[in-house]
Amino acid sequence: MRADRRYARPVTWHWDREPVESTREFVETAIFTPTPKGLQAAIEVIAYPDGHAQVVTSRISGPSGKRTIVQGKPLMFRNVEEAKDAVDLILDRLSDDAAKRQATDVAGRPE
């Protein structure tokens, strides 16, 4: 793992290099669903015996027992370490977007 200070917060990469453009696009288009108190991200990860991993985000809506799931576009990764970086970046974006949403809700306008 290595730290990289070019990002908004310190980032430690699991993979041996920065994420490629397709990973960045995947993170930017990850599906987030507003909830009464924040934002929700539903992340599905599939690990394959050959070491590859697939990650997809989804929107889950509806009451318990009658939920609807709409999946976004999945992305295949060379290995689990590369997928971990994508999931970390999704969580960073989720946290940042939730904080921005709270600031908007509290102030009635974006900061």
Closest to 23 measured CA to CA, from 81, 71, 70: 81
* 3-49 pLDDT tens trace: 444 556 666 677 677 888 999 999 999 999 999 889 999 999 999 99
* 92-111 pLDDT tens trace: 999 999 999 877 765 555 54
* 58-76 pLDDT tens trace: 999 998 899 999 999 999 9
36/19 Cα distance (integer angstroms): 32
Closest to 36 measured CA to CA, from 109, 90, 101: 101
Phi, psi of 16 (to 5 degrees): -80, 10
